[in-house]
Amino acid sequence: MPNARDCLAILLLITIAGATAAPGHAAPKGAQGEKPAAEVATRGQREAKDISYGGWQKLCFKAGGAPTLCRTSITGQFATGQTAVRVDLIEREDAATARLQLFVPVGMYLQHAPRLSVDQGAPFRLPYTWCLTNLCIAADVAAPKIIRKMESGKTLTLELVDSNLLALTTSIPLAQFASVHKGTPARTLEQQIDE
């Protein structure tokens, strides 16, 4: 008799197979600078002022003989301690591209991708990729031009649209980003794999 783990694994395989075999569903194109086809107008705007940001941190992960993966991150929290936003720049040592990833609370209008800009420059969007019970993730390939702007910039402005169609903005400090991103990691986590 199959146990719950086996049933879950089978269900996951069926879901993945169905999603990859579905005709007419193309993968999203790079969101750098694109405007959504049918953008819904917001009903107002407000700044999220109750978010406090920590410093940028660089963590690297090395598993066995795999290439090193580094994540340069900053986290903003509400006064309650709940994560309000987290920004990750994820890079692998053998890859030509990096990934910019956002973690935001649930309750956002998912059809309106998060909009970012460095120092009031040209905006770019990161599409939502998935949601969990306590947060949603938006991510895409980060163009080298955007990374350079982040390294030389002062502020990364993030605009989200909530389920009430209100635009919420927050300013993420970039003052430490370049030195942390180019510097040595605060921690390198290694895992040896024995076969």
pLDDT at residue 23 in the model: 38
Euclidean distance between CA atoms 46 and 168, whole angstroms:
5
At residue 131 the predicted structure's pLDDT band, cuts being 50, 70 and 90, is very high
pLDDT at residue 22 in the model: 36
Please name the residues in contact with 163: beta carbons below 8 A apart, sequence gap of 6 or more: 107, 108, 109
Please name the residues in contact with 105: beta carbons below 8 A apart, sequence gap of 6 or more: 82, 83, 84, 134, 135, 136
Structure tokens at 140: 């895409």
For residue range 10-54, what is the model confidence (pLDDT) as tens digits? Answer: 444 444 444 433 333 333 444 444 444 456 777 778 788 889 999
Closest CA to 102 of 76, 65, 81, 66: 76
Closest CA to 183 of 7, 57, 30: 57
At residue 61 the predicted structure's pLDDT band, cuts being 50, 70 and 90, is very high
Structure tokens at 154: 């002062």
> Domains of the chain by range and CATH?
42-191 (2.60.40.1880)
For residue range 83-112, what is the model confidence (pLDDT) as tens digits? Answer: 999 999 999 998 999 999 999 998 888 999
pLDDT at residue 69 in the model: 94
Mean pLDDT, all residues of the chain: 82
Whether residue 113 contacts residue 36, with contact meaning beta carbons closer than 8 Å, is answered with: yes
Phi/psi at 149 (5° precision): -65, -40
* Res 179 pLDDT > 70: yes
pLDDT at residue 20 in the model: 37
- Provide the residue type at 84 as one letter: A
Q: What is the mean pLDDT of residues 115-129?
A: 95
Q: Is 49 helix (H, G, I), strand (E, B) or coil?
A: coil
